[in-house]
Chain A
Amino acid sequence: SQQGEEDPQALSIQEGENATMNCSYKTSINNLQWYRQNSGRGLVHLILIRSNEREKHSGRLRVTLDTSKKSSSLLITASRAADTASYFCATVNTGGFKTIFGAGTRLFVKA
């Protein structure tokens, strides 16, 4: 079963608005990653946050991690039509190599 669960499953916003996606996971992790996937294509790594970090920024992306609640959020500010994609969180089990992706959030940004 997938470890990461994300909400919302789908999100539709206007260009310029912010988009927030949430991810929950079940086991201990060393880090949590976020990936983007444009329709039917490969995934692109966006950002990684380590278990000892609470917040991380990269351009218009802001990621938070709450290990006590086993949850993370991805905020995309000032969204653009080109941000339309599916966004997945991904975790790797502590001491292992197994990557588990969350269910994903499908973001649609209207121009």
Chain B
Amino acid sequence: DTEVTQTPKHLVMGMTNKKSLKCEQHMGHRAMYWYKQKAKKPPELMFVYSYEKLSINESVPSRFSPECPNSSLLNLHLHALQPEDSALYLCASSQGLAGVEQYFGPGTRLTVT
């Protein structure tokens, strides 16, 4: 199984809502990533988890809260988002810890109203 799954596919939320994005992989990968991608732009790294521990936080606002409950799951908790946070949120995983050959999920299209 070389698939990274993400749920939901689409999410519309108000600025006062709390929601979570979920990501799952069963490849035994040791590193997992969250990216944010705006339209016609490249993905921008948000967080990296290695061995279930947060290793990189790219100065992401605290309204985004990552969680790695176990080696297969990665969550991104959202609270009090702004309209400019609307984007495609991509999850990825890799066997190694050096960001090589990442497997990406299809993404969650988030709209903040």
Residues of A at the B interface (CB closer than 8 Å) are: 2, 4, 30-31, 33, 35, 40-45, 48, 88, 90, 92, 97-104, 106
Bound form: Cα–Cα A104–B43 in Å: 10
B42 touches A42 (CB 8 A): no
Number of B interface residues in the complex (CB < 8 A):
29
A33 touches B45 (CB 8 A): no
Number of A-B contacts (CB under 8 A): 63
Bound form: Cα–Cα A40–B44 in Å: 15
User: Using Cβ atoms and an 8 Å threshold, which residues of chain A touch B42?
Assistant: 2, 4, 88, 101-104
B50 touches A43 (CB 8 A): no
B104 touches A42 (CB 8 A): yes
Asked, given contacts A97-B55, A98-B58, A103-B42, whether A92 binds B105 with beta carbons under 8 Å apart, the answer is no
Asked, given contacts A97-B55, A98-B56, A99-B45, whether A42 binds B90 with beta carbons under 8 Å apart, the answer is yes
Q: Is the interface of A mostly helix, strand, loop or mixed?
A: strand
A33 touches B100 (CB 8 A): yes
* 6 other A-B residue contacts (CB within 8 Å) besides A42-B106, A99-B99: A2-B42, A40-B109, A41-B106, A43-B43, A92-B99, A104-B42
B100 touches A31 (CB 8 A): yes
